[in-house]
Amino acid sequence: MIIILSLIIMFVSGVVVFCLSHKHLLLTLFSMEFLVLSLYFMFFMFLLWSGCEIYFILFFLVFSVCEGALGLGVLVSMIRSHGNDFLSSLSILSW
């Protein structure tokens, strides 16, 4: 029971940080990775308790690693082109 409560608190805190970190791309990526990690633990516990195959976790990890690599690629590209990681510099309307 305490594990389920801690996983729910992890997920909710990750969502709160994701909603509040709207200035820097790196903070947004960190909060997204924290959300993926908490979802991974929830998925693992669900599959472990239900007695299903655990091979689904491998696919989840592959897609989460691809998402992390894509996010880091966008971050590096943005820093090279704009010189910072502020999300406000991506807007076309702000000069």
- So what CATH class is 2-90? mainly alpha
pLDDT in tens, 11-60: 999 999 989 887 888 888 899 999 999 999 998 888 888 888 778 888 88
What residues does each domain of the chain span?
2-90
| Residue given tokens 């976790």 in the structure block | 57
Separation between Cα atoms, residue 85 and residue 90, nearest integer Å: 9
pTM of structure: 0.81
The confidence score (pLDDT) of residue 62 equals 92
Residues 7 and 45: beta-carbon distance below 8 Å:
yes
pLDDT digits (tens, 9 = 90+) for 74-95: 888 888 888 888 877 776 655 5
How confident is the model at residue 94, as a pLDDT? 53
- Residue 50 confidence (pLDDT): 86
